[in-house]
Amino acid sequence: MSLRWQQALQRAWWHPGESAWSLALRPLSWLVRAVVAGRTWRQSRPDAQARLVEQRRAAGLDACPILVVGNLIVGGAGKTPTTLALIRWLQTQGWHPGVVSRGYGRRGTGLCDVGPTTPATECGDEPLLLHRRSGVPVCVNADRLAAAQRLRELHPDVNVIVADDGLQHTRLPRDAQLIVFDARGIGNGHVLPAGPLRQPWPDTPPARSLVIYNADAPSTPWPGHLARRRLAGVVALDTWSSSQRQPPQADTLHALQTRSRTHPVLAAAGLAEPERFFTMLERQWGLHIVRHPLPDHADLSALTWPDGVDDVIVTEKDAVKLMAMASTPGPRIWVAPLDFELPDAVSAQLADWLMPWHPPSSRSAAP
């Protein structure tokens, strides 16, 4: 779908009331509701639950906790930053996490064990970012249960599995869920395609679920926890792309801020909600920017920048698709990593839920 049509549809989804789009697409939403209702009924049957237990045992995952990160809406709400924060927390507790993901937007269809040089077109931009940022094993497959089994076969030290964007993938058993919302909440409250919801809105969260708001205040009726988030600084794309990762330097950001007063920085973001990134650049750092939204999950291999641009700043999600530009002539490209911390109450509840698996001592935790 073109960027223009994406924007038109999303305006209808996030409009507080009815729109011509939502009214026209409502009959299709009824079909989606019927499909979801049938799937929910089948999965609630005792034989289906027993089958899940047996599939988990057969895959060798019965002794390995599975944590799912996801949301109820289409598009980004902060799942990837939440997944990274969860990985970091697990490492501080002495766990050895691995990640499974669908790999949305990739061209490949088979199972992919992600490495630092795996093309984003083969594994997906978000799985590649998760691997490069965290260093943990990541396996991609449409069947997340098969991906989890393969992950453990290839990386036997993995003792907890994190499923990125796996909330609706009910074939994958789970021991806890992190459900993420941003400031947009559930939009107009309609199910796809009339609205952004992947499933009908329930009155209460599912069992063993923690709700995290990637926002300044709760944006749905569900009780939840506010995440702490901020941009960590800027790193040159060639430095960010190298195997020797370096933390952002304050003087680099200061120089960029100074230049932006006379030559605004081109801010490019291929996100479901790019305005959130643009606003953080302005409010947190006071950067003078020119907005340059890109389609979410788009292939950026043929991307060109407007004439006269000296500096470009991008998200890490886009940086994984721009690494080939690190050594080519053109404007200076800067990457702005996002730091995201789990709320203390979420960490405490997860620690309690993970106790049956006899977690490793935090004395062996990763630095």
Rounded distance, CA 365 to CA 358, Å? Answer: 14
Structural domain harbouring 296? 230-338
pLDDT bin (cut points 50, 70, 90) of residue 18 is confident
Mean pLDDT of all residues in 278-292: 96
Which pLDDT score is estimated for 185?
Answer: 94
**216 or 10, which is more confident:** 216
Mean pLDDT of all residues in 242-266: 89
Which pLDDT score is estimated for 364?
Answer: 45
What is the tally of structural domains in the chain? Answer: 2
Rounded distance, CA 339 to CA 231, Å? Answer: 6
Return mean pLDDT, the chain.
90
Mean pLDDT of all residues in 139-147: 95
269 lies in the same domain as 235? yes
Binding-site residue ranges for ATP: 73-80
195 lies in the same domain as 240? no
Residue 31 in this model has a pLDDT that exceeds 90: yes
59 lies in the same domain as 194? yes
CATH of the domain at 84: 3.40.50
191 lies in the same domain as 83? yes
352 lies in the same domain as 299? no
111 lies in the same domain as 125? yes
Residue 3 in this model has a pLDDT that exceeds 60: no
**163 or 169, which is more confident:** 163
Mean pLDDT of all residues in 144-152: 96
Binding-site residue ranges: 73-80
pLDDT bin (cut points 50, 70, 90) of residue 306 is very high
263 lies in the same domain as 239? yes
199 lies in the same domain as 235? no
102 lies in the same domain as 123? yes
15 lies in the same domain as 136? yes
Which pLDDT score is estimated for 359?
Answer: 62
Asked which of 116-125, 229-238, 298-307, 333-342 is least confident by mean pLDDT, the reply is 298-307
Residue 356 in this model has a pLDDT that exceeds 70: yes
Structure tokens at 126: 């978000």
Mean pLDDT of all residues in 309-327: 91
Mean pLDDT of all residues in 206-217: 95
190 lies in the same domain as 312? no
Instruction: Name the pTM for this structure.
Output: 0.91
206 lies in the same domain as 242? no
